[in-house]
Chains A and B, each alone.
Chain A
Amino acid sequence: MKLHEYQAKSIFADAGIPVPDSRLATSVEEALDAVDEIGYPAAIKAQVHVGGRGKAGGIKIATDRDEAEQYAEEILGMDLKGYTVETVLVEAGVDFVDELYVGVTMDRGEGEPVLMVSTEGGVDIEEVAAETPDAIAREHVDPAFGLHPYQARKVVYEAGVDADVALDVASILSTLYDLYEDSDASEIEVNPVMVTSDRDVVAADAVMNVDEDALFRQPDLAEMAEESYEDDLERKAGEYGFDYVRLSGNVGIIGNGAGLVMTTLDLVDYYGGSPANFLDIGGGAKADRVANALDMVFSDENVDAVVFNIFGGITRGDEVAKGINEALEQFDEIPKQVVVRLAGTNAAEGMEILNTDLVEVEETLEDAVQRAVKNAEEVTQ
């Protein structure tokens, strides 16, 4: 779960990390009131869950009231990589001489949290990692003991941070680690930490992502979750509780189990089609979930044909068949041609029940995908 910059910053500020003075605004008037209080220069920053906001035009620095008005008008309501900007953070500009990167994340290869510090802040850290990996100093933390304070100092000195601000930066890093642990964060970073001409350090940006699997014990953070889906279908998938990702093709895909659904997408592509979505109905799905899944792909106007592939372990073929029948029998005319392939637990029982007047049936995954690709081609011809 991603937090907005303003949410992360308020958590950081409560924990004692210095952040610039700021106000939240949802209209141009509010934004102007905010700059009147804060003064110039002021940064106007789109609050949406996408990276690279600056490059995409979602962050502007206003040096007077006219600019502030112009930028607030531009940014509020703009489309930023598929997300509409509804809120901006108006923040005091920082007169900086240096930009640093500090962060904490899980090194999945090592199975341990890792602290990261770089003097090349203010740019995409993943690019730095790919191009000049030596520019990032790293320190792993033993999860049995947590962070020893010396480790934060060590990694900051190792990164080559100026000696006069090193301890302040180490203190920010140490606080970030505490937040990382206490909040079940999956990732937490400040990029950049700005060093001012007065040699103060300020967290000018804030990224905090929380492990969704831990939200049951993070009620305050769970409340901060803001539904922000790229489109209505993703919102609907969220309501139905499906793992769903929308793509740009026209073959709708429903299946069970992440690996097998990914494979089905890959096969659609391999046989010359184009997948419209990833939709995993999960293990042990009953008839109503099956019907909801069909509703999802039928509601996608890009979809011209559907492949429904189930390999049952804990999912039972007869339950799936029942759900498909129930969902399709409601229609006078089936909205999109559905090819079904059932294998595994109770597949034979499922095939017996399945109403083959309403769907096409194939025995193998390969055949089912090829038929759906062909069906989609016929619709677009």
Chain B
Amino acid sequence: MSIFVDDDTRVVVQGITGGEGKFHAEQMIEYGTNVVAGAVPGKGGQEAAGVPVYDTVDEAVEAEDADASVIFVPPAFAADAIFEALDTDLDLAVAITEGIPTQDMAKVNRRLSETDTRLLGPNCPGIITPGEAKLGILPGNIFADGNVGLVSRSGTLTYQVVDNLTERGIGQTTAIGIGGDPIIGTSFIDALEAFEADTETDAVVMCGEIGGEDEEEAAAFIGEHMDTPVAGFIAGRTAPPGKRMGHAGAIVSGSGTGTAESKIDALNDAGVPVGDTPEEVADHVESFL
């Protein structure tokens, strides 16, 4: 089992004729993902990465029966691309694009509340169910099939923690990067809830970072609703207040909210051990299994 994507997922790639879109569509196909179409306005009838391209997502879904999309569209047009995916009633839309204006995302978020589509991201590395499907830019070779779920705000930190797990022979059911922006479609809680319901996920890793209060809310959810053991990691302990640490969302506010300490305390209170190093996170997971 897995969450959100598996080998039945049929993927349309929005922006497949661009440099990144084409490269990663090829990588996804090479990994074994069922990429069935591309969608790029004005490029209908062409072929890219070995699949047919349509002018609209609607046509791609109609012709190829796609149920998920991955969005590699530049920031100025990305919100429009997400709306197109939402209005086509896909099950899942994964927005890789970094740098979408926040007020655009507020409108997307509003629309999202009225649809059944799950949005992952934006500004995220995507999602992978090892051995079945990869939607996004994650390097497939570091993942292994197994029974640990992983949810993280950051791409490369996900790779680091997955590497520590895979090195010890601990594989993953599904790994999800939810994205580093202030407004995102899928939250920690959404992912944790799905992992809790997944019978094959025996333990979960949650990697958070400074900024906002999502980790605190996730900690409360874990304490109240989860039987599956969770190990945590929080990046940004040494971040100074008021500075944006790369991610648009990664900022400790002047009044002291969003700190690593508050997140670690909240997780510990919910019974979640938080590793000081990625290696320690793997130790905790190993002790759960």
Q: A residues engaging B (CB < 8 A)?
A: 51, 106, 108-109, 111-113, 126-127, 129-130, 142-144, 181, 184, 186, 211, 213-214, 216-217, 243, 245, 247, 255-263, 265-270, 275, 278, 280, 283, 311-314, 343-345, 364-366
Q: List, in ascending order, chain A residues with CB within 8 A of B139's CB.
A: 312-313, 344-345
Report whether A213 and B160 are in contact in the complex, using a CB–CB cutoff of 8 Å: no
Q: List, in ascending order, chain B residues with CB within 8 A of A261's CB.
A: 245-246
Known: A106-B106, A129-B255, A143-B107. A258 touches B160 (CB 8 A): no
Q: List, in ascending order, chain A residues with CB within 8 A of B156's CB.
A: 255-257, 259-260, 311, 313
Report whether A245 and B245 are in contact in the complex, using a CB–CB cutoff of 8 Å: yes
Q: List, in ascending order, chain B residues with CB within 8 A of A364's CB.
A: 279
Report whether B238 and A275 are in contact in the complex, using a CB–CB cutoff of 8 Å: yes
Q: How far is the CB of B123 from chain A (nearest CB, A)?
A: 10
Report whether A311 and B213 are in contact in the complex, using a CB–CB cutoff of 8 Å: no
Complex: chain A residue closest to B237, CB-CB: A266
Report whether A263 and B278 are in contact in the complex, using a CB–CB cutoff of 8 Å: yes
Task: Find A344's partner among B152, B159, B180, B210 (CB 8 Å cutoff).
Answer: B159
> B242-286, CB under 8 A of A: which get 1 and which 0?
011111111001111000100000000000000011110000000
Report whether B237 and A213 are in contact in the complex, using a CB–CB cutoff of 8 Å: no
B51 sits at the interface (CB 8 A): no
Q: How far is the CB of A255 from chain B (nearest CB, A)?
A: 8
Known: A111-B183, A366-B279. A263 touches B255 (CB 8 A): no
Q: List, in ascending order, chain A residues with CB within 8 A of B103's CB.
A: 106, 113, 143, 181, 184, 211, 214
Report whether B102 and A106 are in contact in the complex, using a CB–CB cutoff of 8 Å: yes
Report whether A260 and B160 are in contact in the complex, using a CB–CB cutoff of 8 Å: yes
B78-118 interface with A by 8 A CB criterion: 99-107, 109-111
> B8-36, CB under 8 A of A: which get 1 and which 0?
00000000000010000000000000000
Complex: chain B residue closest to A111, CB-CB: B109
Task: Find A111's partner among B106, B207, B246 (CB 8 Å cutoff).
Answer: B106
Q: How far is the CB of B284 from chain A (nearest CB, A)?
A: 15
Task: Find B153's partner among A216, A259, A267 (CB 8 Å cutoff).
Answer: A259
Q: List, in ascending order, chain A residues with CB within 8 A of B256's CB.
A: 130
B204-254 interface with A by 8 A CB criterion: 207, 209-210, 212-214, 217, 233, 235-240, 243-250, 253-254
Q: List, in ascending order, chain A residues with CB within 8 A of B159's CB.
A: 260, 311, 313, 343-344
Known: A108-B249, A266-B235, A267-B277. A257 touches B106 (CB 8 A): no
Complex-state Cα separation, A230 to B277, whole angstroms: 31
Q: List, in ascending order, chain B residues with CB within 8 A of A111's CB.
A: 105-106, 109-110, 183
Report whether A263 and B157 are in contact in the complex, using a CB–CB cutoff of 8 Å: yes
Known: A143-B107, A211-B103, A262-B245. A270 touches B138 (CB 8 A): no
Complex-state Cα separation, A99 to B273, whole angstroms: 47
Report whether A245 and B235 are in contact in the complex, using a CB–CB cutoff of 8 Å: no
B102, B238, B254, most chain A CB atoms within 10 A: B238
Q: Supply 30 A–B pairs (Cβ within 8 Å), ascending by A.
A: A109-B212, A111-B110, A111-B183, A113-B103, A142-B110, A143-B107, A144-B107, A211-B103, A214-B103, A217-B101, A247-B240, A257-B155, A257-B157, A258-B245, A258-B246, A259-B153, A259-B180, A259-B207, A259-B209, A259-B246, A260-B159, A260-B160, A262-B157, A265-B238, A266-B235, A266-B236, A269-B237, A283-B137, A344-B139, A364-B279
Report whether A247 and B238 are in contact in the complex, using a CB–CB cutoff of 8 Å: yes
Q: How far is the CB of A367 from chain B (nearest CB, A)?
A: 10
Complex-state Cα separation, A283 to B138, whole angstroms: 12
Known: A51-B254, A143-B110. A258 touches B278 (CB 8 A): no
Known: A263-B278, A266-B237. A126 touches B255 (CB 8 A): yes
Q: How far is the CB of A143 from chain B (nearest CB, A)?
A: 4
Q: How far is the CB of A116 from chain B (nearest CB, A)?
A: 14
> B30-58, CB under 8 A of A: which get 1 and which 0?
00000000000000000000000000000
Task: Find A213's partner among B102, B142, B154 (CB 8 Å cutoff).
Answer: B102
Complex-state Cα separation, A179 to B265, whole angstroms: 39
Q: How far is the CB of A127 from chain B (nearest CB, A)?
A: 7
Complex-state Cα separation, A366 to B233, whole angstroms: 15
Complex-state Cα separation, A266 to B277, whole angstroms: 9
Complex-state Cα separation, A326 to B246, whole angstroms: 26
Complex: chain B residue closest to A343, CB-CB: B163
Q: List, in ascending order, chain B residues with CB within 8 A of A142's CB.
A: 110
Contacts A143-B107, A144-B110, A259-B180 known; list 12 others, CB within 8 Å. Answer: A108-B212, A109-B214, A256-B156, A259-B207, A269-B237, A278-B245, A311-B160, A313-B156, A344-B142, A344-B159, A365-B160, A365-B278
